[in-house]
Structure 1
C-alpha cells in the first residue's frame, strides 16, 4: 500500500500568538495522518532549516542561506543524499550504484519518516521551536526567504521520492523579502503591489518572482509533486506570484486573515481527514484526449500542465495549457474540474451534415494514483451528431447548459484579464452576450418590445450580469493575492460551486412561510425576514431590522416565543450544512440590517433600489448607494442592442 507523503514548510517570522495557532493546528494534522504517512519538516525565516527527524536523540538541523537560489543538486549535496553523495565514492560502477542506492534510502529514513515513528519527535520539536530570532530593525519587514524554503523542500522530495506522489504543504504568514521569490523590499514604507501597480508595470519584483515560481513549477511537475499553500496574514504574502506553481501542480490554496481563524483551521483539518469527509486527494494523474479528426484541441484552463504531446488534433490557437493532447495533474481530488476548449471552426462537417460520418466523438482518458496506491484508468467516451446550425438550431439550443456556459465564460475572462494587456472584460462579455441574444432570441428587427429569449437561455443574461459585477472582473476592491485566490478556486471547482461564486444563492426565512429561494435583489430585504446568502467564499446570515430588535430584547429566550427561537436557529443550521461540505471552508458573517457588516450582503444584490429612485420603494426595504445599473436596466439595453438590424 502506498503511503501519503507530506513535507511541511513552516514560516517562523510571525508574532507569538499566530505562531502558537499554527503550531497547534500542525500538531493536530500530524495526529490525523495515517500511521504509514511519510512526514518531513522544513522551517524558515531569515534562513531555511531542514530538520532531520530520524535522529531523535537531539535535534539535528541543516541550515541553508536565504539570500540566493539553490539547485536540487546543491540541496542533495548539502544534505548528503542521492546522486551528489555518490560523486566522491571510489571504486567500480557496481559499488557506486549500491552505495548510491543506500545513500538515497538513508535520505528517506533521515528526513522523511512514517507519522507513527516521528509524531513524538515532531511534537517535541514544535514545542521548542521559536519564532525567527533574527533582529528586525524599526520600520522594516522581517527577512523571510519563502522562495528558498520551497526550493529546498522541492529538492528534498526530488532526491528522496522522485516520481512518486508527494505534497509540499506551505504555511506562510507574510511576504517574501529575501532571495528568489521576493515580492517587496524590507522597507515598511514601500506598500505591497496593488492591481494598479501591476497594470502600470510599477511592481519591480513581480515578473522576476513569477519567473522563479514558474521554474519551480516545472521542477515539481517533472518530479510529480504538489505544492499546497496556506497563507494567513492581514497583508499580502505573494499568492499572485505563487499561483503558477500551485495551479500547475494541482495544489490546494487557502487564504485567511489569521491562523486562528476557522477558515484556516477547519480547511487545514479537512486536508488530513479520512472517511466521507475527506477531500479524496489523488496523485500523478494524466489526462489524454482523443477526438474526431474534424475537431482540434485548443487547451485547458484548470489545475494541470501541458505535456507537449503533439498530434494532428492540436489547434493553432492556444487557450490556457495548450499545444498538446495530454496533460499532467500532479494532484487531483473529488471535485477537480477542468475546462477543455475545442476548435470546430475548421470543420466542414458542421456546415455539411450530409458528409460521410454524421457523428463526432470525444474520448477522455484519465489515469491517477488513488490514496491506496492503485493506478486507476477512467475512460469517458461521448458521441454527438453534427448539427447544421443554419438549418436546425433547435437541436443546438436544447443542448445548451446555462450554468456551464457561465462558468466557461468566467474562466476564459479571468484568463484573458491576466494574459492580455489592456483587455476590457466588461465590453468583451457584453459583446458576446449581445451576439448570443441576437442569434438565439426571437424578435422583430428594431423592435425591443418584441424580444423574447428561449427558456434554455433565460438565465444566461442574469449570470453574465452577475459575472460583470463579480470579484473575477471587478478587481478594484481586492488585492492581487485575493484575486489570484478567487480565480484559482474558480478554475478548479465543479460547476455547481463555480456557479455560486459567480451568482450567489439567497434564501429567505420568515414567520409566514417556509424557507424559500429569494431573488438576488435588494427588494428581498425585509425588516421581518432573515436572509441567508451563499457566495461560496463567505456565508452571510442577515437579520432584518425588526428581527434584530426582537433578538436584542431576548424574545427568543421566552417560552411563549418558541417560534421566534426556531426562526433564528433555522438559517444557522443551514449555514453549518453549507460550511460542513465545502473546501476551503467559507467565512461565516452574521450581521443586521444597517449594520457595518451588511455590506457583505449588499455588495452581491441587484441594485434595483438606489439613492436615485429611493422614493418609489416600499417602506422597510433597503437601498444601495451605487451608480451601477440594475438588472432591469441592463436587460433593457441588451434587448435594444440585440434587435438592431
Structure 2
C-alpha cells in the first residue's frame, strides 16, 4: 500500500510538472524574464518528443536588445562569452552545472563536459563570474573584432511611410515615429522614404534645404536605375559593378569613399538628424494627388519598397539594416499592385484566391518574391505594419513569410 502511495505521489508530481511546462498563462508568457528583456511562451523546456507533440501552442521566445542599461541585472561584460563544444556552441549560463574543483562545467542543453580556460582559474563557489549569477539570465558582452578589422556599422532603420491616408491617421503615424526614433541609440542610422502616387527619398544629409529624390510610382524601376539616379551606381559591393580603387584613396570602415558618401547623404545618426527628421515630419502632409470619385487612392507600395531595398543594398550591404514600412492600404499602382484603382472592383477575398480568380495575384507574388530574394542576399529585414479585418495581407507578399 505504501509503495502504491509513493508511486501515485510521483505520478502526480510528474503530471504537475508536465502541465507547468505546457502552461502558457500570463506568468508563463513573461517567463520571469521581463526585467531582462526576454519573454517566452513557456515556463520550462519540453524534455521529450511526446510532450512536444502534445503542446498546442508553438514555442517562441523574444528578446529586446535595445533597452536601457538600468534594466540590466549585470553591466556589459568586457570579455567574449564562453561557448560549449561544437556543434552545440551554447553559452555558459546560470543553468550549467559547475565543478569548481575540477574547473569543469556541464552544458544544460547537450550535457557535454567543458573545461574552463586559464583566465577562469580564480573561480570558486564564493567567486563566480557574472554569467553564472542566478539573477543574470540575460547578459551583454562587449566583444571586440580581430585586430585591424574595421569598426562595425551601427544598426540602420529606414522608415517607409504611406501618405495615402487621412490627416488624422498620418498624425498618429508621426507621433509613433517620433517615439520610435527617441528610443533608438544615438549612433543608429536613420533614413526616410515617403510615398503615395510617387516615391520621395529624403536626403537627410543636405541641411541647407529639404532635398528629395522623386521616383515615378507607375513605372517599374530596376536596382541599377535607382542607383544611377542616386549617384551610387559605382559601389563595389556584391551584386554591383566593382569600383576602381584609386591610388592614395583610403577606405573608411572598409567601404569606398563614394559608398560612405551615400551613407552620409541618406542615412544619418539619430544624434545628427533628429531635428531635420522632426522638421520633415512636421511638414509631411497626406498625398496631394487628386483622387477621382469612385476610385481608390493611387498607392505605389512596390516601387517604394524597391527604392528602399536598392538604397540599403548600395549603402550598407550585409549589415543589420531594417526597412520599417507603415502601410495604410493596398497597392494600386505600379509593380506589386493587388487591386485596381476602381472601387467597383473589390479587393480579392479568400474565395477568390482559392478559385484562382484574383487577376493581380500571380504578378504580385512574382514581384514580391524577387524583392524578398534581393533583401535576403543583402542581409536586410523588412517589417510591415498594416491592418485588414477581412483580408490576408501577407498572402501576396513573400516578404512577410521570409522575414516572419
**How high is the TM-score relative to the length of structure 2?**
0.57
Matched, 1:239 2:403: no
Partner of 1:163: 318
Q: Does the Cα contact within 8 Å between 1:73 and 1:84 map onto a contact in 2?
A: no
SS across alignment from 1:147: helix
CA distances 1:8-55 after superposition (whole Å, capped 9, x unpaired): 000000011111111110111111111011101100000000000001
Q: Determine the C-alpha separation between the residues in 1 that align with 2:293 and 2:244.
A: 57
Alignment of 1:324-473 (within 5 A): none
Q: How many residues align?
A: 244
Partner of 2:218: 67
Assess, with a 3 A threshold, how the Cα gap between structure 1 residues 32 and 21 changes in structure 2: closer, same or farther. same
Partner of 2:358: 203
Alignment counterpart, residue 147 of structure 1, candidates 269, 278, 302: 302
Partner of 2:265: 110
Q: Does the Cα contact within 8 Å between 2:394 and 2:401 map onto a contact in 1?
A: no
Alignment counterpart, residue 182 of structure 1, candidates 337, 340, 344: 337
Assess, with a 3 A threshold, how the Cα gap between structure 1 residues 165 and 84 changes in structure 2: closer, same or farther. closer
Partner of 1:48: 199
Q: Determine the C-alpha separation between the residues in 2 that align with 1:194 and 1:106.
A: 46
Q: Does the Cα contact within 8 Å between 1:7 and 1:153 map onto a contact in 2?
A: yes
Q: Does the Cα contact within 8 Å between 1:76 and 1:159 map onto a contact in 2?
A: yes
Q: Does the Cα contact within 8 Å between 1:45 and 1:145 map onto a contact in 2?
A: yes
RMSD: 2.3
Q: Structure 1 stretches of 5 or more lacking a match?
A: 87-91, 251-302, 304-645
The CA deviation at 1:74 is 1.2
The CA deviation at 1:233 is 5.4
SS across alignment from 1:241: coil
Q: Does the Cα contact within 8 Å between 1:182 and 1:209 map onto a contact in 2?
A: yes
SS across alignment from 1:83: coil
Q: Determine the C-alpha separation between the residues in 1 that align with 2:207 and 2:200.
A: 16
Partner of 1:23: 174
Q: Does the Cα contact within 8 Å between 1:176 and 1:238 map onto a contact in 2?
A: no
Q: Does the Cα contact within 8 Å between 2:236 and 2:256 map onto a contact in 1?
A: no
Q: Does the Cα contact within 8 Å between 2:163 and 2:286 map onto a contact in 1?
A: yes
Q: Determine the C-alpha separation between the residues in 1 that align with 2:216 and 2:247.
A: 30
Q: Determine the C-alpha separation between the residues in 1 that align with 2:212 and 2:236.
A: 18
The CA deviation at 1:230 is 0.3
Q: Structure 2 stretches of 5 or more lacking a match?
A: 1-151, 238-242
**How high is the TM-score relative to the length of structure 1?**
0.36
Matched, 1:138 2:138: no
Q: Determine the C-alpha separation between the residues in 2 that align with 1:174 and 1:44.
A: 12
Assess, with a 3 A threshold, how the Cα gap between structure 1 residues 127 and 161 changes in structure 2: closer, same or farther. same
Matched, 1:3 2:3: no
The CA deviation at 1:123 is 0.6
Assess, with a 3 A threshold, how the Cα gap between structure 1 residues 239 and 115 changes in structure 2: closer, same or farther. same
The CA deviation at 1:190 is 0.7
Assess, with a 3 A threshold, how the Cα gap between structure 1 residues 45 and 236 changes in structure 2: closer, same or farther. farther
Q: Does the Cα contact within 8 Å between 1:4 and 1:165 map onto a contact in 2?
A: yes
Q: Determine the C-alpha separation between the residues in 2 that align with 1:14 and 1:234.
A: 17
Assess, with a 3 A threshold, how the Cα gap between structure 1 residues 176 and 96 changes in structure 2: closer, same or farther. farther
Q: Determine the C-alpha separation between the residues in 2 that align with 1:123 and 1:206.
A: 38
The CA deviation at 1:154 is 0.1
Q: Determine the C-alpha separation between the residues in 2 that align with 1:203 and 1:103.
A: 44
Q: Does the Cα contact within 8 Å between 2:300 and 2:334 map onto a contact in 1?
A: yes
The CA deviation at 1:101 is 2.0
SS across alignment from 1:196: helix
Q: Does the Cα contact within 8 Å between 2:235 and 2:314 map onto a contact in 1?
A: no
Q: Determine the C-alpha separation between the residues in 2 that align with 1:22 and 1:150.
A: 18
The CA deviation at 1:103 is 1.5
CA distances 1:291-332 after superposition (whole Å, capped 9, x unpaired): xxxxxxxxxxxx5xxxxxxxxxxxxxxxxxxxxxxxxxxxxx
Matched, 1:39 2:190: yes
